[in-house]
Amino acid sequence: MEIATARRVLGVQEATRSLRDTGELKEFAGRILAKKYRERLSRLSRAEEATLNAAIKIRNVLAHRSARSVEEMNVALRNGDLPTSLRVLQDVTSRTVGRYLLSTPRQGRPRYEHYFSTLADIANRLAPTRGRPTTICP
pLDDT at 133: 64
pTM of the model as a whole = 0.85
Domain extent, residue 136, equals 45-138
Q: Are residues 54 and 108 in the same domain?
A: yes
Nearest to 85 by CA among 62, 65, 110: 110
List Cβ neighbours of 66 (8 Å cut-off, separation of 6 or more): none
R_g (Cα) of the chain, nearest Å: 16
- 6-62: pLDDT as tens digits: 777 777 777 677 889 999 999 988 888 889 888 999 999 999 999 999 999 999 999
DSSP 8-state class, residue 15: S
Number of domains in the chain: 2
Task: Write down the pLDDT at residue 16.
Answer: 73
One domain, residues 113 and 85: yes
> Would you place residue 75 in the very low, low, confident or very high pLDDT band (cuts 50, 70, 90)?
very high
